[in-house]
Structure 1
Amino acid sequence: MRTLLLLLTLYLPLLVQAGALESYKPRFGREQPLVAVVGENRMTELVDYLVPFSLLSRAGVAEVVALSTREGPLQMMPALRVEAQVTTAEFEQRYPQGADYLIVPAVHHSDDPVLTAFVAGQAAREATIVGICDGVLVLGHAGLLHGRQATGHWYSKSRREADFPDTHWQVDRRYVVDGKLVTSSGVSAALPVSLALVEAIAGPLKAEALGREIGLTGWSPAHNSQSFAFGAGGYLTAAANHLAFWRHETLSLPLQPGLDEATLALRVDAWARSFRTEVLASGNGPVRSRHGLTLLPDAPAEGMPLLPDKEAAPGKVLDEALAGIAARYGDATAAFVAAQLEYPRH
């Protein structure tokens, strides 16, 4: 019995740290937790930003607010433009006690001083900070990774280890929980991390119900990150697709009110990573998405072939998109896209 208790004392904290997030504890008299998703205006990863915003909004378990560091639209990577609901400065005025959860996507300028100061400030107010994909680099520049366990996109491993050598970098984890710091592997990890957040806030039954609704069967942190690499074939595919400009095409995403942000982001992100396709949002003016974001058009409403769309649920979109990419451009291109998304093809 003593041996069992000793083993539980030693290993249970490690198991909790490696997997489940801490259950939400209400504070400041809030009826629901406050979740903020923050982007940097010059370039923010599309799935990392829109999927958590969409799924947590859909779950109805939190007040979810989309932020930008400055006034004006967010340029998303690899495509689309979005207007957030408030700026970081406006958020701090409106919610001086801070968020309960702050979700930080990958951005191109991970050392942006406005963004890193905001993230550090929210951490100081004891928010749980969630870095999606290489949003972990923002966390590092905000000074949050010293001595902590973390992970990120497989492609940035060498950079992360060089820039933040005192961080305990984990592999083969979809997401890593270290107290109030949560980090994830590449882009598609936004899906299971969002369900893990719903579980922490509202319990496993609510997370399971959301999973069934969106077509995702689980949110385990188990992952084989070391199986992802471009290899010679991936780099050759990228070069061939990029250089063969005569085979490039532009596909239109018609903007309509009420578009589901997660479905939109996952489909566009996959197709726009093929190095064969440019995806443009088409329409005659801004539209409101399902949960209140403003989507901005890049081009008029007619004149381009449409982005393939089979109305898949968010949890099935990547499978559908990769199958379409394989049929249109070949399996090598689909594999190249899946590697970028760090998504295990089914």
Structure 2
Amino acid sequence: MRQIFGKAFLFLLMILSTHASAAAADPIQLPPLKPGHLRPLVAIVADNSGTETTDLVVPYGILKAANVADVVIVSSKAGTVSLMPALAIEPDITMKAFDKTHPEGADLVIVPAMHDNRSEVVIRWVLEQAKKGAFVSAICEGAWIAARAGLLEGRNATTHWYAFDKMAGKFPQTRWVRDQRYIVDHNVMTTTGVTASIPASLALVEAIAGHAKAKTTANQFGFVDWDATHDSAPFHLTARRIGLVIANYLSFWEHETLSIPVTNGFDEIALALSADAWSRTYRSQAIATSRENFIISRHGLMLVPNKTKDVGDGRSSWYEADILASSLGVTLVKIAERYGQETADLVALQLEYSATE
């Protein structure tokens, strides 16, 4: 009798496991376009007090380059949006103005990680957009916003490795899944760490305009594919990694400001990935510099640079023009050359980046 129950239990586990895998691999099915929309209206949410650099800029750049949707950056209030760990931008519209202009809501809402993931303004706005039928894509720790809006209850989901266990404990009604770069469950997408914004964005392009368009867009940026397969095992803190963070942080006499001169038409994705990576070494802070008050990227992102005259004599100044977005690997090599391989590995860990993916 015990053997029968044991076999039945194992069979049940197999069924549940299969169900979870199938749900994790759900294709993206975007809702029908809202009345008056000729193509999808995509709202990328930004909280002015701090929104993750790559989580916001990569979806913006990829969707804009694909030219398959109308993309706007929607901020919690008027004024400059501080990106973290680097850069600053001007949003396209505030939430209040967006609601007035588009009472029907967006077709797709992208939620990056935010400094204040308890913002009632942001959580309420995302929830209202979901109630209006929007597909919600929560990038990295943007999952906090989606979860607090109640959008992940009873769903399969994932998030950045650093927040995974915390979120699993806080939201036990969500089925938390590892080893997937991004997961789609009905009308909600969640992703792992920062660089998962790349395959997730290409998957959205495919959902909107088909595989061929997504492939063309991927090739444009030097990406090979946007497969959801991911090995979560290597991404975790160790005593050695913690020690390196402390050592780099405390070596203040070796800290550097890396100035990146920008001009109109700059590649927003390349800038975001480079500035993000260099600003995670605990040795350096990247800033974009110009003599102008605003600089416009090749796809219309309005960057607020540091004024050149305000930049002191840092220990180094660098700039790489026309680098591909996939050059994050090249950036990590340069970080290794300057600060050592362990620091480059620490940056890759924070970005949840694997050179094999």
TM range (shorter): over 0.9
State the partner residue of 2:346: 336
State the partner residue of 1:6: none
1:233-312 to structure 2, matched below 5 A, reads 233-284=240-291, 285-301=293-309, 303-304=313-314, 305-309=316-320, 311-312=322-323
1:62-99 CA-partner distances (Å, limit 9, x unpaired): 00111111011111100111111101111111111111
Give the secondary structure class of the aligned counterpart of 1:165: coil
Once the 2 structures are TM-superposed, how far is the Cα of residue 193 of structure 1 from its aligned partner? Answer: 0.4
Q: 1:203 aligns with which of 190, 210, 221?
A: 210
Q: Residues 260 and 110 from structure 1, CA distance in 2 versus in 1: closer, same or farther, beyond 3 angstroms?
A: same
**Greater CA drift, 123-132 or 224-233:** 224-233
**AA at the equivalent of 1:323:** V
Q: 2:84 aligns with which of 77, 80, 100?
A: 77
Q: Are the counterparts in 2 of residues 230 and 336 from structure 1 also a CA contact under 8 Å?
A: no
**AA at the equivalent of 1:86:** I
Question: Does structure 1 residue 320 correspond to structure 2 residue 327?
Answer: no
Q: 2:95 aligns with which of 88, 95, 115?
A: 88
Give the secondary structure class of the aligned counterpart of 2:49: coil
1:298-337 CA-partner distances (Å, limit 9, x unpaired): 24256443235263211x2210110110111100000000
1:2-81 to structure 2, matched below 5 A, reads 15=22, 17-22=24-29, 25-81=32-88
Give the secondary structure class of the aligned counterpart of 1:213: helix
The percentage of aligned residue pairs carrying the same residue is 40
State the partner residue of 2:236: 229
Question: Does structure 1 residue 132 correspond to structure 2 residue 132?
Answer: no
Q: Distance in 2 between matches of 1:172 and 1:67?
A: 31
Q: Distance in 2 between matches of 1:339 and 1:21?
A: 28
Q: Residues 237 and 345 from structure 1, CA distance in 2 versus in 1: closer, same or farther, beyond 3 angstroms?
A: farther
Q: Are the counterparts in 1 of residues 259 and 287 from structure 2 also a CA contact under 8 Å?
A: yes
Q: Distance in 1 between matches of 2:321 and 2:340?
A: 19
Q: Residues 258 and 17 from structure 1, CA distance in 2 versus in 1: closer, same or farther, beyond 3 angstroms?
A: same
Q: Residues 161 and 12 from structure 1, CA distance in 2 versus in 1: closer, same or farther, beyond 3 angstroms?
A: closer
State the partner residue of 2:104: 97
Q: Distance in 1 between matches of 2:341 and 2:18?
A: 43
**Greater CA drift, 204-213 or 298-307:** 298-307
**AA at the equivalent of 1:90:** A
Q: Residues 135 and 73 from structure 1, CA distance in 2 versus in 1: closer, same or farther, beyond 3 angstroms?
A: same
Q: Distance in 1 between matches of 2:20 and 2:285?
A: 46
Once the 2 structures are TM-superposed, how far is the Cα of residue 255 of structure 1 from its aligned partner? Answer: 2.5
Q: Are the counterparts in 2 of residues 154 and 226 from structure 1 also a CA contact under 8 Å?
A: no
Q: Which runs of 5+ in 2 are unaligned?
A: 1-16
Give the secondary structure class of the aligned counterpart of 1:251: strand
Q: Are the counterparts in 1 of residues 109 and 136 from structure 2 also a CA contact under 8 Å?
A: yes
Q: Are the counterparts in 1 of residues 31 and 135 from structure 2 also a CA contact under 8 Å?
A: no
1:262-301 CA-partner distances (Å, limit 9, x unpaired): 1111110001000000112212221112222221122425
**AA at the equivalent of 1:79:** A
Give the secondary structure class of the aligned counterpart of 2:327: helix
Q: Distance in 1 between matches of 2:27 and 2:181?
A: 12
Q: Distance in 2 between matches of 1:199 and 1:13?
A: 23
State the partner residue of 1:3: none
Q: Are the counterparts in 2 of residues 35 and 63 from structure 1 also a CA contact under 8 Å?
A: yes
Question: Does structure 1 residue 213 correspond to structure 2 residue 220?
Answer: yes
Give the secondary structure class of the aligned counterpart of 2:350: helix
**AA at the equivalent of 1:295:** L
Q: Distance in 1 between matches of 2:203 and 2:280?
A: 27
Q: Residues 44 and 222 from structure 1, CA distance in 2 versus in 1: closer, same or farther, beyond 3 angstroms?
A: same
Q: 1:107 aligns with which of 114, 133, 136?
A: 114
**AA at the equivalent of 1:202:** A
Q: Are the counterparts in 1 of residues 139 and 192 from structure 2 also a CA contact under 8 Å?
A: yes
